[in-house]
Amino acid sequence: MIDVQRTTFGLALRGELDAATAIRLDDSVKEAVIDTEGAFVLDLSELTFMDSSGVGALLRARSLLGREERQLAVVCPPGPVRRVLGLIGVADLFAFFDTRADAERALVI
């Protein structure tokens, strides 16, 4: 189960991002990209689990924002979700921040 909330500059996720919920993230990112401008913050700080399907959804979000020439910041403090991204070898593709406030301050919004 995943809960996706709109925030001022993007989306915040809570719960598990896996094969059953990755499509919800895909859809939510597409809607949010249409409705927003500038940098985009994806807050993963309240995810409790993420599998390879979730990683794929994050990569698709990054790709979509890249086509729009928009910055992406990922709020993902050290822990299990960040460890998954590191183990798969994609951590270097994302700009990580420990808090949403840190991400918002660092980006050109």
What are the domain boundaries of the chain? Answer: 2-106
51-76 pLDDT, tens digit per residue, is: 999 999 999 999 999 999 999 999 99
This prediction's pTM: 0.91
| Distance separating alpha carbons of residues 71 and 28, to the nearest angstrom | 17
109 neighbors 87 (Cβ within 8 angstroms): no
Kindly state the percentage of the chain with pLDDT values over 70.
98
Residues 6+ apart with CB under 8 A from 71: 38, 39, 40, 65, 95, 107, 108
Query: Do you know the residue count of the chain?
Result: 109
The SS3 assignment for 95 reads strand
Domain 2-106 of CATH type 3.30.420.40: no
Q: Cβ–Cβ contacts within 10 Å for residue 59, how many? A: 15
